[in-house]
Amino acid sequence: MQNGKFVISLDFEIYWGVRDKKSIEAYRSELLGVRKVIPRLLNLFEKYEIQATFATVGLLFFDNKEEMKKAIPDIKPSYINKNLSPYFDLDKVVGETEDTDPYHFGKSLISQIVTKRQEIGSHTFCHYYCIEEGQTEAEFDADLEAAIKVADANNIRLQSFVFPRNQYNSAYLNILKRHGISSFRGNENSFFFDPSLTGLKLKLARALRLADTYINISGNNIYTQSQLSKDGIINIPASRFLRPFSTKLKPLEPLRLKRITRSMNAAAKSGRVYHLWWHPHNFGSYQDENFKFLEKILEHYQKLKTVYNFESINMGDLASQLLKQ
Cα 220 to Cα 13, 70, 245: the distances in Å are: 28, 45, 21
Report the 10 Å Cβ neighbour count for 62.
23
- For each of the domains in the chain, give its residue range(s) and CATH number, in order of start: 5-191+221-324 (3.20.20.370)
Question: CA 139 to CA 70: how far, in whole Å?
Answer: 17
User: What pLDDT sits at residue 320?
Assistant: 93
Q: Is 325 helix (H, G, I), strand (E, B) or coil?
A: coil
User: What pLDDT sits at residue 10?
Assistant: 98
To the nearest 10°, report the CA torsion of 42, 43, 48, 49.
50
- For the stretch 20-33, pLDDT in tens is 999 999 999 999 99
Question: CA 179 to CA 72: how far, in whole Å?
Answer: 18
Please check the confidence at residue 231 and state whether its pLDDT lies above 90: no
User: What pLDDT sits at residue 259?
Assistant: 98
Q: Which pairing describes strands 5-12 and 272-278: parallel, antiparallel, or unpaired? A: parallel
Question: CA 53 to CA 162: how far, in whole Å?
Answer: 10
Please check the confidence at residue 245 and state whether its pLDDT lies above 80: yes
Report the 10 Å Cβ neighbour count for 286.
19
Higher per-residue confidence, 230 vs 17? 17
User: What pLDDT sits at residue 90?
Assistant: 96
Query: What mean pLDDT value characterizes the chain?
Result: 96
User: What pLDDT sits at residue 37?
Assistant: 98
User: What pLDDT sits at residue 1?
Assistant: 73
User: What pLDDT sits at residue 124?
Assistant: 98
- For the stretch 292-308, pLDDT in tens is 999 999 999 999 999 99
Contact 313, 5 (CB under 8 A): yes
Question: CA 28 to CA 18: how far, in whole Å?
Answer: 11
User: What pLDDT sits at residue 229?
Assistant: 77
User: What pLDDT sits at residue 47?
Assistant: 98
Predicted confidence band of residue 227 (pLDDT cuts 50, 70, 90)? confident
- For the stretch 127-138, pLDDT in tens is 999 999 999 999
Determine the average pLDDT of the residues in 243-254: 97
Predicted confidence band of residue 232 (pLDDT cuts 50, 70, 90)? confident
φ, ψ of residue 211 in degrees (nearest 5): -60, -35
Predicted confidence band of residue 189 (pLDDT cuts 50, 70, 90)? confident
Predicted confidence band of residue 226 (pLDDT cuts 50, 70, 90)? confident
